[in-house]
Amino acid sequence: MSEVGGLYNVSEEHEMLREAIRALADEKIAPRAAETDESGEFPWDVYKDLVEAGFHAVHVPEQYGGEGADALAAVIVIEEVARACASSSLIPAVNKLGTVPLLLSASEQIKSTYLPKVASGESLFAYALSEPEAGSDAAGMKTRAVRDGDDYVLNGVKMWISNAGVADFYTVMAVTEPGIGARGISAFVVEKADAGVSFGPKEKKLGIKGSPTRQVIMEDVRIPAWRMIGEPGTGFKTALATLDHTRITIAAQALGIAQGALDYAIGYVKERKQFGKAIGEFQGVQFMLADMAMKLEAARQLTYAAAAKSEAAMHGAQIKDLTFFSSAAKCAASDAAMEITTDAVQLLGGYGYTSDFPAERMMRDAKITQIYEGTNQIQRMVMARQLLK
C-alpha cells in the first residue's frame, strides 16, 4: 500500500520546535486547561500567547507572512498543545482546516487578502461543511449560493462548526448547481462581518469546551463573486482534498491528548502506594502502561508518515495513498487516544473519576477525535475503498 513520500525525518529543527512549544504549553496553557474546560470560554489569553510565539498557524506560507512550516511541524505544534489542553489545540488545527482550501484552490486575490490576516494573528479562520441533515453525507447539503450579477447570495445553515463566532472568516461549501450532487457544490469565503451572517447558541458538549461549536446561519448573505474558492462546481473536490491534509491534524490532537494522559498516569502510579508498594510495581499495572505506550507510538509513527505524504502532496507530488494514510492516521490515533485516556482514568482509580485530576477531562476530550472530520466508521469506508480501487 505504501509508496515513496511517507519517509519522514524528525530534524533537529523539529525537535527544537517541540521543546519550544512544550515549554510554552507547560508554562502557559496547562495551568489554564481545567479552567477553560469548566468555563467553556474560548481561551483568548492562550491565543495571544500562541500568536506571540508564532504557533497559532505555522502552516501559512512565508509569502503571506507565515512561518512556512511543513506538515510535520504543524503536527508537532498541535500535538504538544493538545498534550496540555485539547481545546487550545483547536486554535492551530482549525486555522489550518479553514485555510487549506485556500492553499489548494483559491485565487491569488483570495490568498493575499486573507492569509496574511491569519498569519499575523489578527483573524481566525474556520471551516463550514456539515449541516443539520448533512453530516457524513456532506454532499447532501442544502445551503445554496445563487449568482446575481457580480455577486453570489448565500442561504443556509451550517452545523457543528468549530470556533464559530470567534473566527472572522469561514470556508463555506454551498450548492451552486442543484440536481447534480457533489459536482454542483462550490466553495466560498464568508466573513463574520457580512450582512446576514449569524450564529446559533453554543453547543453544550462532552469535551473540547473551550472551542465554541455553533451553527453558522446565512440569510441572504451577498458576497462578491471573487470570493469563490476555485472554479464553480469544484467545492466538494476541494473539501475532500482538504480533509486528506487536515485529518492528520486531528490525529495529532489525539496523540497529544493520549500523551498527556499517559504522562500523568505514569507519574501517578509511581507515587500511589497500595499493599506496601507503589502500584507501578504491580505487573497488571505495568502491562496496562506498556499497551498504552505501544498503541500511542504506533499511532504516532503512522501520523508522522501521513504528514510527510501531506507535505509532498502540497508541493505538487502525486501521492496516491495520501487518502488512505490520512484516514488511517486519524482513525488509529483517535481510537488509541480513547483507549489510553480510559485506561488512565482506570489507573487513577477514584481520583481518575474526579475533575480534580486531568484524566477525566482528557477522556472526554479524546472522544470527539473519533467523530469529527469524518467519523471513524467513515474512515474505515474510505480506507476500504482505497484498497479496493
Enzyme catalytic residues: 373
61 Cβ neighbours under 8 A, 6+ residues apart: 68, 103, 115
Q: Measured between alpha carbons, how far is residue 258 from residues 23, 336, 337, 340, 369 in Å? A: 18, 7, 5, 6, 11
Written in H, E and C, the secondary structure of 188-253 is EEEECCCCCEEECCCCCCCCCCCCCEEEEEEEEEEEEHHHEECCCCCHHHHHHHHHHHHHHHHHHH
Closest by Cα among 107, 102, 157, 97 to 127: 97
Is the CB of residue 188 less than 8 Å from the CB of residue 228? yes
Contact 164, 183 (CB under 8 A): no
The answer for residues whose C-beta is within 8 angstroms of residue 270's C-beta and 6 or more apart is 278, 280
Q: Please name the residue that has the C-alpha cell 481518575.
A: 352
